[in-house]
Structure 1
Amino acid sequence: MSKSTMENLFFKSLRSKQIAVTVLALTLFVTIMSLVLYEGTKKSVALNVNGEELNIKTHAHTVGNLLAEQEIEVAEHDLVTPSVNTPIEDGLSVRWEQSKQVAITVDQENTSIWTTERTVSDVLAQAGIEVTEHDEVVPGLQQQLGEDNSIAVQKAFELTLDDGGNETKVWSTSTTVADFLKRENILLDDDDRLEGQMADVVMPNSVIKVVRVEKVTDVVEEPANFTVETRNDPALLKGREKVVQEGKKGTVSRKFEIVKENGTEVSRTLLEEKTITEPQKKIVSVGSKVVVASNNSTNVSVSRDNSSAPAGGKEFYVTATAYTAYCNGCSGITAAGIDIRSNPNIKVIAVDPKVIPLGSKVWVEGYGYAIAGDTGGAIKGMKIDLLYPTKEAAYKFGRRQVKIKVIN
């Protein structure tokens, strides 16, 4: 091959390469320019996905297209703002909140709700559940929903607490008495008593009663009564008494255990007793001498003279009535032991021993000398009853004011 032919082939090959490079460069330029022009026509959108901010450039025509482009599937209860049909404009802000199903338990009732709210208070407000300051809510009202997407509400109710007699109204969500006392920081001492059981269920308007029990010891000194000893005295007229020795109270120390409930004493138990001073007994002589009455008695005159009062003795006025040995309720034997049925004419009067001692010799105006030898249920104070042998004589005497003199 000639030299000229080789040169022609070389230059022809060189031109072909130049053309190919030129075409490739032109194609690349066009592609780059197309990409630049394509990207330049995209619109900038701020997309908030469950609180996370994303800046996106897109050719999407609507919010719905934009979310689909981001592979976000919008469910029925999800929150999309603005709506999915809103046209995309440059600088638009789009928010998508994915809804959750939240289980809500109010006391023993269960329900559920789909929501995009995140705090417990907002979820409950959306569900139309009112909560008071005394109710117990888990998680707390201001907290975010937990991973289990559940809320528990215990509604508070009012009950009465009687602690040691002090009554107060209390709001509570407790289920048992034990739980209530623990929540209210109420402690029971060893002797305190709860009316009811710790395991009892707490209901609205329940009354929880705590009785505060206090045990104390008390030592007191008290008088000790003396005893009375009686002795028969044959020298003393029957019915009369004479104090031989006066009684004197002693002193005794007593130790008590006192139980108080709510501050009020309910029991007192004697633990120990010690005598400090011995009491002195009282000795009384009781007369046993019986008056033997007869019509010829040297002690009592049977005459019914109305002579004037004798000199000496204690004189006063009394109301006098009359009775016989056979009156209703009469036994025929007087309090001083006189047999008045065997001696119907004996002069005996019934007296109040506190005024006229039994066995005393007396003078009665209009009756004469007599012995105070009887008593009577109606004869009290300044009254006497005169013994007459017959009912006629007693009726005739009736009732009158008389002078009496106690001789001895």
Structure 2
Amino acid sequence: MSNRTMKSLIFKSLRSKQIAITIVSLTLFVTIISLALYEGTKKSVTLDVNGEELEIKTHANTVGKLLSEQEIKIAKHDIVTPSVKTPIKDGLAVSWDQAKQVAIQVDKTKKVVWTTKETVGKVLAEAGIGITEHDSVIPEMTEQIGDVDSINIEKAFEVTLNDGGKKQTLRSTSTTVADFLKRENIQLNELDRLKGNAEEVLKPNSIVKVIRVEKVTDVVEESANFAVETRNDSSLLKGREKVVQQGKKGKVSRKFEIVKENGKEVSRSLLVEKVLVKPQKKVVAVGSKVMVASASKARKRVTSVSRSNAPSGGKELFMTATAYTAQCNGCSGITATGINLHSNPNLKVIAVDPSIIPLGSKVWVEGYGYAIAGDTGGAIKGKKIDLHMPTKSAAYKFGRKKVKVKIID
């Protein structure tokens, strides 16, 4: 091959390469220009996806198509702002909040909601569920929804607490009495007790009663009564008494253990008793002498003074007088001092209250004369006397009178 031919071939080859390079460069240039023009016509949009912001350039003409470009599928309960039909403008801010399904359990009632709220509290507010400070909410109100798919609520109910007699109404979600006391920081001391069982189920309007028990000791000094000793005295007329020795009260110290419930004493036990001063007994002589009056002596004793006028001395009393006979129904005819009125129907004898007129006393009775206080009667109490008459007619005739009485001896 000649040199000329060789040169011609080399020239043709170089020319072909130059053309190819030119074409490629031109194509690349056009492509770059087209891309630049394409990108330049895109609009800038801020997209907020569940709180995370993205800066996007797009040719999408609506919010809906923008989200489709980002492979975001919009569910029924999702919230898109502005709406999917809104035209895209440069600088537009678009937010997409994806709804989450949350189960809300309120006591025994359950409901399912779709929500885009961020916290438990906002979800409950959106669902129209009111919460008080005493209600139990799990998770807490400030907890972010995130992975939370259920909310459990225990509504507080009223419980009456009677602590040591002091009542107050509280709200609680406790299931047992023991849990309620623990939550309310109610502590029981060693002697304190509950009315009922600590494991008893707590219900609305339950009453929890705590009985506060305490033991205390009390030392008191008290007077000790003296004993009364009676001795028969044959020198005293029957029915009369004479104090031989006056009684004196003693003094004793007593130590008690007292149990109180809610501040009130419920029991008292004697622990120690100590005599500080011994009591002195009272000695009383009781008359045993029976006055037996014969007809002659009694008449002589009474009639010898009955004709006289009222004595000048003696204790004077005004008393209500009635009359009786030895022949009355139920009467034995023997007086309390042993006088036989059947054998001595004309004796002047009166029945008296020995605490007013001592038995055996000589007396003068207005309208009756001198007599002996020799009898008693169940109805003769206080300033009353009953006059012995020899016959029923005399007793009826006397009736009832207010009379002057003088105690002579």
Residues 83/319 of structure 1: CA separation in 2 closer, same or farther (3 Å cut): closer
Does the aligned pair in 2 maintain the 1:251–1:279 contact within 8 Å?
yes
2:324 aligns with: 323
**Cα deviation 1:91-122 (Å, max 9, x = unaligned):** 22111111111110111111110111111222
2:122 aligns with: 122
**Cα deviation 1:42-63 (Å, max 9, x = unaligned):** 2221111111111111222322
What residue identity is the alignment partner of 1:67? L
Residues 9/383 of structure 1: CA separation in 2 closer, same or farther (3 Å cut): closer
Does the aligned pair in 1 maintain the 2:298–2:347 contact within 8 Å?
no
Equivalent-residue separation in structure 2 for 1:285 and 1:234 (angstroms) = 9
Does the aligned pair in 2 maintain the 1:100–1:114 contact within 8 Å?
yes
What residue identity is the alignment partner of 2:140? G
What residue identity is the alignment partner of 2:156? A
1:189 aligns with 2:170: no
Equivalent-residue separation in structure 2 for 1:294 and 1:364 (angstroms) = 22
CA shift for structure 1 position 315: 4.2
Does the aligned pair in 2 maintain the 1:306–1:366 contact within 8 Å?
no
What residue identity is the alignment partner of 1:405? K
1:307 aligns with: 308
The residue matched to 2:295 in structure 1 has which SS? coil
1:191-210 mapped onto 2 (5 Å cutoff): 191-210=191-210
CA shift for structure 1 position 352: 1.8
1:112-191 mapped onto 2 (5 Å cutoff): 112-145=112-145, 147-191=147-191
CA shift for structure 1 position 221: 0.6
What residue identity is the alignment partner of 1:158? E
Does the aligned pair in 2 maintain the 1:160–1:208 contact within 8 Å?
yes
2:407 aligns with: 406
Residues 61/400 of structure 1: CA separation in 2 closer, same or farther (3 Å cut): closer
CA shift for structure 1 position 284: 0.6
Equivalent-residue separation in structure 2 for 1:402 and 1:98 (angstroms) = 119
Equivalent-residue separation in structure 2 for 1:310 and 1:2 (angstroms) = 207
1:251 aligns with: 251
1:396 aligns with: 397
2:227 aligns with: 227
Range with greater deviation from structure 2 (345-354 or 333-342): 333-342
The residue matched to 2:218 in structure 1 has which SS? strand
2:292 aligns with: 292
**Cα deviation 1:186-218 (Å, max 9, x = unaligned):** 111122222222222333333222222221100
Equivalent-residue separation in structure 2 for 1:206 and 1:106 (angstroms) = 21
1:364 aligns with 2:365: yes
Does the aligned pair in 2 maintain the 1:162–1:210 contact within 8 Å?
yes
The residue matched to 1:296 in structure 2 has which SS? helix
With the length of structure 1 as denominator, give the TM-score of the two structures. Answer: 0.93
1:242 aligns with: 242
Equivalent-residue separation in structure 1 for 2:326 and 2:145 (angstroms) = 110
**Cα deviation 1:368-396 (Å, max 9, x = unaligned):** 43221111233233332111121012122
With the length of structure 2 as denominator, give the TM-score of the two structures. Answer: 0.93
1:387 aligns with: 388
**Cα deviation 1:265-293 (Å, max 9, x = unaligned):** 22222112111111111111111111112
Does the aligned pair in 1 maintain the 2:159–2:204 contact within 8 Å?
yes
Equivalent-residue separation in structure 2 for 1:315 and 1:170 (angstroms) = 78
What residue identity is the alignment partner of 1:292? V
The residue matched to 1:9 in structure 2 has which SS? helix
CA shift for structure 1 position 16: 1.9
What residue identity is the alignment partner of 1:247? G
Equivalent-residue separation in structure 2 for 1:230 and 1:117 (angstroms) = 101
Residues 355/29 of structure 1: CA separation in 2 closer, same or farther (3 Å cut): same
Does the aligned pair in 2 maintain the 1:294–1:346 contact within 8 Å?
no
Unaligned segments of structure 1, at least 5 residues: none
Does the aligned pair in 2 maintain the 1:49–1:95 contact within 8 Å?
yes
What residue identity is the alignment partner of 1:249? K
State the identity %.
69
2:9 aligns with: 9
**Cα deviation 1:286-329 (Å, max 9, x = unaligned):** 11111112211268635494332356543444332211113244
The residue matched to 2:296 in structure 1 has which SS? coil
Equivalent-residue separation in structure 2 for 1:7 and 1:368 (angstroms) = 199
Range with greater deviation from structure 2 (4-13 or 362-371): 362-371
The residue matched to 1:268 in structure 2 has which SS? strand
Does the aligned pair in 2 maintain the 1:45–1:92 contact within 8 Å?
yes
Runs of 4+ that moved beyond 6 A: none
Does the aligned pair in 2 maintain the 1:300–1:369 contact within 8 Å?
no
2:24 aligns with: 24
The residue matched to 2:67 in structure 1 has which SS? helix
CA shift for structure 1 position 222: 0.3
Range with greater deviation from structure 2 (202-211 or 248-257): 202-211
What residue identity is the alignment partner of 1:173? T
What residue identity is the alignment partner of 2:149? N
What residue identity is the alignment partner of 2:103? A
Does the aligned pair in 2 maintain the 1:362–1:370 contact within 8 Å?
yes
Equivalent-residue separation in structure 2 for 1:406 and 1:98 (angstroms) = 121
Equivalent-residue separation in structure 2 for 1:143 and 1:326 (angstroms) = 110
Equivalent-residue separation in structure 2 for 1:94 and 1:376 (angstroms) = 120
